[in-house]
Structure 1
Amino acid sequence: MFEALAAEKTLYEYAQSDAYPIERVLEVANLAVSRDASGLGKLIEACEDRHPIVRYWAATGCLILQGKAMSAKGKLRGLLKDEWLDIRVVAAEALGYLGEADLAVKTLEPIIKSDEQYAVLAALNSLDFMQQAGHVSLERIRELIKTVSFKGIPERMAKYFQAAK
């Protein structure tokens, strides 16, 4: 995500520019990692922020809260269509913890089959966490990835799923 946002700038230049709302990002990121459910309303509002990194942290906060984020389901469903794959992945995983595992997997499937290596890896990691939590079966993950030709780091994750018991 950062590389696309930075465009022709370095990440450092982008992070130092006015285009990067550092104060807003920190506000939402700190709220997300606080695990304080009293901040859920602000996280839900941040799901509609114009900046993708803020939306990413808002979805991450909902994921961290898991079952306590039930009132965020509507906003998280909306993020499944976000233009940024990173945001879709986190929103899908959060929904997996809110009883929407089928929707989460359907959202992650095209991402896993995309050429975006980092998004693919994030989606595979999300499936791994959802499988460990009992929301998605290992068989379903294997079925999902069996026809995909992974490269690089995602290939290691695919081998991990194939070898897992």
Structure 2
Amino acid sequence: MRKLLVLAVILLALFAGWYFASPWWAMRSLADAARSGDVAALEGKVDFPAVRRSAREQLGELVGQQRERGGLFGMVPDAIVDRAGREVIDRAVNADSLGTLVATGAMAAPFLPERLRTQAITWDVERDDFDHFRGVGTFADGTPGPQLLFRREGAGWLVTGFKLPPL
């Protein structure tokens, strides 16, 4: 009976260690792969179809906001915006661009405000539930950065989306 109790305590400690440490480890290993330019490692940590869906959703929200304000997208037919957006996202969301997002905080660094282009970005982890967490980026001056959305896959984690901060 005592051996069973010891085994249960050990298993519980291992599970607790995994539960609390694995999101930080996943975020750190993703950031390390991004900084070193390890495309193969990045590809193994990202669900690219899910990330592209996330990008399309954000583009759709942006287009909707522009239409409400009478912006440029209000004059372009939905089918054209949808097709063009899909093509751009399918080509732009890849291991290199995601690596840039993690390493610099932007999918396209030239579009960042000048003051953020040279700042380092740090990442923290915020757990949403057992199967999901967010990697929350913050620039050196405290400006909020992007968020990476992770989903548990077995005992590991995959990036399934991102949220860009309003700039």
TM-score by length of 2: 0.22
Give the structure, 1 or 2, with the largest relative contact order (CA under 8 Å, sep 6 or more).
Answer: 2
More helix by share: 1
- Bigger radius of gyration, 1 or 2? 2
More strand by share: 2
